Amino acid sequence: MPISVAFSTFGGINGYLFTSSRLCFSGAREGHLPSLLSMIHYNKCTPIPALLVCCAATIIILCIGETHNLINYVSFINYLSYGVTIAGLLFYRWKKPNLYRPIKVNLLVPVSYLMFWALLLGFSLYSEPVVCGVGLVIILTGVPVYYLGVHWKEKPECIYNFIARATSVGQRLCFVVFPQMDPIEIASPSEWTDRSSGKNSLSGSL
């Protein structure tokens, strides 16, 4: 049994290493993080800057806090973000039914997930309110960072110069470049229309 648990843990960590760095990578491509994090190795196509940032953040967090508490905080944050993401997909399905969706599932799947998610979230808030509160505070710390880094468009010229120099140095050290964009991401329409269905109702697939 201990060996099985070790293998399961190793597989989970391996998957998390892939997904966490790709989250930084995707956020940078959307303009929510420095552009250096959206670059990949010119030969291996690996998002090296995003991996290094996640690695550095993990080491810092492990050095300043207790592992058990960190696991509780991160678990609640991840669980909350999963439910909000699913709710956002349902919202877009309702408001923008013709939006292009490469992957579709029956609406029963996300609705069922949200029902169980709300039930378990309620139990978590009732049983461990302090942990959930700290997790919410950690999430809210991203609000001022968003306004300063993304919403504030007219920054001083020195900040743009510093970002440009840091990006140039990062490119030289990591041998990274901007990836080739998918043609569908740079299409002229502001919204990608659903090319397989013209339904305007909430029924059907997500």
pLDDT tens for 43-74 read: 888 899 998 988 888 888 778 766 777 777 77
Cβ neighbours of residue 160 closer than 8 Å, sequence gap 6 or more: none
Cβ neighbours of residue 150 closer than 8 Å, sequence gap 6 or more: 31, 32
How many CB atoms within 10 Å of residue 196? 10
Tens-level pLDDT at each residue, the chain (206 residues): 778 887 787 877 777 777 878 888 888 888 888 889 989 988 888 899 998 988 888 888 778 766 777 777 777 888 888 888 899 888 988 888 887 777 888 888 889 989 988 888 888 888 888 888 888 888 888 889 888 888 888 888 888 899 889 999 999 999 998 887 665 555 544 444 444 444 444 444 45
Distance CA 29, CA 197 (A): 28
Q: Calculate the CA dihedral of residues 202, 193, 83, 151 and round it to 10 degrees.
A: -130
Cβ neighbours of residue 34 closer than 8 Å, sequence gap 6 or more: 28, 163, 166, 167
